[in-house]
Amino acid sequence: MTEDEQVAERVFVALADPSRRALLAALATGGPATATDLAARLPITRQAITKHLTRLADAGLVEAEPGEGRRIRYRLRSSPMQVAQRFLAALARDWDGPLDRLTTHLEEEP
């Protein structure tokens, strides 16, 4: 498995959970935030948010930044998502050719 495939796999595993997708959406719309900030915006406990942010950080989708005192702010990182998008685009290209040929073949059948 290539490094890009490993990155894409970690992204897909992280995105499989709806709570993690909600956290990414909240960070995308609201910018960097702490777990406490996110808990105020989402129907998820702060403890669960912290757990999910750790998983997102492991996948490279968020980055922890030291804040004031013990507060940690999380910000989105787009590079792993871009790797996953390239993986999906390549997969689609690999499928498009054979599917187009099959469609053409089936349309030509009497």
- pLDDT of res. 92: 81
Mean pLDDT score across all residues of the chain: 90
- pLDDT of res. 78: 93
pLDDT at 23 > cutoff 70: yes
**Residue 64 — pLDDT band, cuts 50, 70, 90?**
very high
pLDDT at 98 > cutoff 70: no
50 and 25 Cβ atoms separated by less than 8 Å:
no
* Number of domains the chain is built from: 1
CATH number at residue 38: 1.10.10.10
pLDDT digits (tens, 9 = 90+) for 24-44: 999 999 999 999 999 999 999
pLDDT at 1 > cutoff 90: no
Domain carrying residue 86: 3-108
Cβ-proximal residues to 88 (8 Å cutoff; 6+ apart), any chain: 8
When pLDDT is averaged across residues 63-71 and rounded to a whole number, the result is 86
Angle between the N-to-C axes of helices 3-15 and 79-108, in degrees from 0 to 180, rounded to the nearest 10: 90
**Residue 96 — pLDDT band, cuts 50, 70, 90?**
low
